[in-house]
Structures are given as C-alpha cells and as structure tokens.
C-alpha cells in the first residue's frame, strides 16, 4: 500500500511539474506589454481583413472569369512566387535606406495598397489587372510581414521572443477562425458591399494605428530601454573602478 501511495504521489508530482512547465511557457510577460498588445491588434486586424475578403473572393473569380482548378492553381502559384520575392528580396531593398520614421510611412503606404488593391481587384473585369493588383497586394503583405517580424524582436528578450511569436501566431489563428464567420454574416447583409466595407475599414484602422502609435510604442520604448541599459552598464563599470 505504501509503495502504491508513493508511486501515486510521484505521478501527481510529475503531472504538476508538467503543468507548471506549460504554464510558465504560456505566461509570456512581454506579451502583456502595451507594445505587444499593439502588434497583436495590428496582426489580428490584418488577418481578419484577409479572411473576410477570402469569403467573397473565390466566388467572384468564378463568376467573372469562370475560374477552374487549373486557373486557381496558376493564380496561387503566382501569389506564392510574389510573396516569396517580396519577403526575400523586395522588402530588404525597400527597408535598407529607410529610417524608422520612413518604415512607418512605408507601412502606411502598404495599408493603402492593400485596401485599394483588394477593392480594385474585386471590381475589374480584366484578369490581367487582377494579376497586377494582386502583385501589388502580395508585395505589400510581404513588406508588412517583414517589418512586423523584425520589430517584434525589439519588444521581447531573447528568452521570451519564441513565446511572443507563439502568442502572435495563436492570435492570428484565432482570427482565421473568426474571420470567415464574420465574412459570412456580413454577406447576408449584402453579398459584396458589406464584406468589402469591413475589409477597407480594418485597413483604415491599421493605417491610423501605425500613424499614431507605431513609432511611440515600439521605437521610442526600445530607445528608452537601450538608454536605461547603457546607463546601468556605465554605473556598474564605475562601481567596479571604485572598488
């Protein structure tokens, strides 16, 4: 009986240690900071816009251009190629000469390109223009994703950066589940205007978030942290000299 009770206690201790480890992994302090909440809001808004638009986009391609499986395959191959090109080549070339304020302006331009591009791509009857618009849209998405990923590293320590990226991915996955439901509900109000208006509204929200909060919540706070760490480093070096 004593052996059974000891083994049961060991099992309970192991379960507690597993749950405590999982809890500590999920509890990411940097994810609760204003900067992280700001980035999560931007990513969720953009993910919602993407998924709401997709609820009407496939049907639109079928109605306007009689898209079949082969046409969809070609279109998605084009999208994948442009996205890889924008992240691997174009984004780096565009961001390299820009200051932090310039990066903010570039993010705003990408928001405009995403909103206007999706509306134009939905309205036109020329497949060539659709490809051009989506080239612009996907390039803008690649640039935005590159900037947000790079700037996420500014708000978390090396020990927490993996957990913060996990929280961001979870938030986007949640938007991927909610977005189609919202798109379907809006389509009942009006099959085209309501979802498109929601998409444009979300990009406008992101535009103003970037305009009024990005530099303040990400770049300035990062600079303040750098200054604080430099001051503490100088203070510790002075103490060591005195000793």
Residue 75: CA atoms inside 13 Å, Cβ hemisphere, count?
Answer: 19
Quote the pTM value. 0.80
CB-based contact 124:130 (threshold 8 Å): yes
DSSP assignment of 129-153 equals HHHHHHHHHHHHHHHHHHHHHHHHT
Q: Report pLDDT for 18.
A: 39
Neighbours of 38 (CB within 10 A): 18
pLDDT of the chain, 243 residues: tens digit per residue: 444 455 545 545 444 543 343 344 446 676 778 888 899 999 999 999 999 999 999 999 999 999 988 999 999 999 999 999 998 888 888 888 888 889 999 999 999 999 999 999 999 999 999 999 999 999 999 999 999 988 888 887 777 788 888 888 888 999 999 999 999 999 999 999 999 999 999 999 999 999 998 888 877 655 555 444 444 444 445 545 555
Q: Report pLDDT for 64.
A: 92
Q: Report pLDDT for 158.
A: 78
Neighbours of 193 (CB within 10 A): 11
Quick one: tokens of 18? 């597993």
Q: Report pLDDT for 220.
A: 67
Q: Report pLDDT for 107.
A: 94
């Amino acid at each position: 009986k004593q052996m059974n009770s000891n083994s049961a206690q060991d099992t309970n201790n192991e379960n507690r240690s597993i749950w405590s480890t999982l809890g500590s992994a999920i509890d990411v302090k940097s994810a609760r900071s204003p900067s992280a909440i700001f980035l999560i809001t931007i990513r969720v808004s953009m993910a919602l816009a993407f998924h709401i638009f997709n609820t009407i986009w496939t049907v639109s391609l079928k109605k306007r251009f009689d898209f079949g499986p082969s046409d969809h395959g070609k279109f998605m191959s084009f999208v994948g190629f442009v996205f890889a090109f924008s992240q691997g080549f174009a984004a780096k070339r565009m961001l390299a000469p820009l200051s932090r304020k310039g990066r903010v302006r570039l993010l705003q331009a990408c928001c405009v390109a995403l909103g206007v591009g999706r509306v134009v791509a939905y309205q036109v009857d020329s497949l060539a223009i659709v490809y051009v618009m989506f080239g612009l849209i996907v390039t803008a998405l690649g640039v935005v994703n590159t900037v947000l990923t790079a700037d996420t590293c500014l708000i978390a320590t090396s020990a927490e950066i993996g957990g913060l990226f996990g929280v961001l991915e979870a938030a986007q996955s949640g938007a991927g589940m909610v977005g189609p439901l919202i798109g379907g509900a809006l389509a009942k109000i009006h099959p085209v205007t309501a979802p498109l208006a929601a998409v444009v509204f979300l990009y406008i929200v992101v535009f103003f978030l970037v305009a009024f909060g990005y530099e303040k919540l990400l770049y300035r706070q990062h600079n303040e942290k750098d200054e604080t760490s430099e001051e503490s480093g100088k203070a510790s070096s002075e103490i060591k000299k005195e000793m």
